[in-house]
Amino acid sequence: MSVRIEPSILTADFANLEAEVGRIATADAVHVDVMDNNFVPNLTFGPRMVERLQAVSPIPLDVHLMISDADRWAVGYAELGVMSVTFHVEAATDPVGVARAIRAAGSRAGVAVKPGTDLAPYLENLAEFDQLLVMTVEPGFGGQGFMTGMLKKVADARAAIDAAGVDVWLQVDGGISLETIERAAAAGADTFVAGSAVYGADDLDAAIAGLRAAAERVHRH
């Protein structure tokens, strides 16, 4: 099982984003949180900022949409050429249709669930998605503590992915650090979003390598 580390630029210096993404070139992707101050009580940036990041980033962009009306807006982000677009099932009336539109536009299609959302209804359509994101904090703000109660949801998702025999990345986002990544990896996650654990470190490359090594160590055993 491959391990992917994706630093979140939510904790980066917004005034120097080109330089900030350059500092994480050893990561697998840049995790870009798009918030609309409607679906979540925070406002970050929209398609024009993502388009500029796509133009200057040395590694692929994994866009996480924390916005309302994903049916209308999600495909536009895929059309910018990013690696993947993840939308929340709580913000979509037709998750499968949205995922198909994202794929048709050339991006990987991801679906995310909040901590309080039942995962079961979406496990029946795993083949329609390329990534499943289990939030391990309430979406909206960085720096929150890891919700250990979500580990069972991660494990249930891993069991369903394995049983279906599909190539779906299992991502966790929220409170990921050296202390929590091992538990998330043991539950079956393979793709990890880390904010302050990377951007708060003195040596970003070392922080990325440390997180990767910790998750890989769990998977090997």
33 catalytic? Reply is: yes
Residues paired with 109 in a beta bridge: 85
| Identified catalytic residue from 28, 33, 62, 190 | 33
Cα–Cα dist 186/34, whole Å: 29
| Identified catalytic residue from 28, 62, 173, 190 | 173
162 catalytic? Reply is: no
Cα–Cα dist 92/128, whole Å: 15
Nearest to 35 by CA among 62, 10, 16, 52: 10
Order of strands, sheet of 84-88, starting from the edge strand that comes earlier in the sequence: 4-7, 191-194, 169-173, 131-135, 108-113, 84-88, 61-66, 30-35
Q: Give catalytic residues, as residue numbers.
A: 33, 173
